[in-house]
Structure formats: structure tokens, C-alpha cells
Amino acid sequence: MDTASLIIRMTGALALILGLMLTAAFLLRKWGGLTGRAGSRYIEVMENRLLLPKRHVSLIRVAGTYFLIGSTEKGMSLLGRLEKDEMEAFDRLMGENAAEAGKSRETAG
């Protein structure tokens, strides 16, 4: 084998390995493997909202209890707490409000 074909084969093998590593990293990140989200039995981030730059509100469920957490660059604060039955009532209320808003848009249009 000449040197040129050996370099081409080694470059191709290196490109293949790098491609496989990047694909694996992408899939792990997508499924939560690199962020600690996968397989969490007790803590689940239900929703995150960016309010302003560096200011977030997060709804987190821990063993059936929901916590509303505010975070800034200076720290985190507990904004509220809902038990499972309170959260279900809130979901029903929000569903009813969304249905009423849809009906009012239909009659207005």
C-alpha cells in the first residue's frame, strides 16, 4: 500500500469514529443522559419559562408535590407549593378557561 491510500483510510476511519461520537452525544443529550434527567424517579421538571434574561420560573414535581421556583443570577426562591389534588384542580380550571376563550374567539370571528 502506498502512503496516500493509507492516509485516506486513516482519515476516513477517524471521521467515522468522530461522527459516531457526535451522534452518541446528541442522542444522550436529547434523552437526558448528559443532563441528569433520564431515569429520575422522584424529581421532574414539568415546565420552565424565561421571564427576562437570567430570570426563570420552573414548575418542579417532587414525589407528587409541585413547587414553583424562581431563579435569578443571584439565587433561587420558592414561590409556591401545590399538592397533587390542588394541581389537578388548577389543570381543570385552566382547561375550562382555554375552552371558554376558544368559544369567545369563535363568536367574535
Q: Is residue 55 part of a domain?
A: yes
Q: What is the count of structural domains for the chain?
A: 1
Local confidence band at 84 (pLDDT 50, 70, 90 cut-offs):
confident
Q: In whole angstroms, how far apart are CA 51 and each of 59, 74, 90?
A: 13, 15, 21
Determine contact, residues 65/83, Cβ cutoff 8 Å.
Answer: yes
Q: Is residue 40 part of a domain?
A: yes
Print the domain residue range for 34: 3-81
Q: Is residue 106 part of a domain?
A: no
Q: Is residue 96 part of a domain?
A: no
Mean pLDDT of 21-29: 83
Q: Is residue 95 part of a domain?
A: no
Q: Is residue 21 part of a domain?
A: yes
pTM of the model as a whole: 0.50
Q: Is residue 27 part of a domain?
A: yes
Q: What per-residue confidence (pLDDT) applies to 92?
A: 81
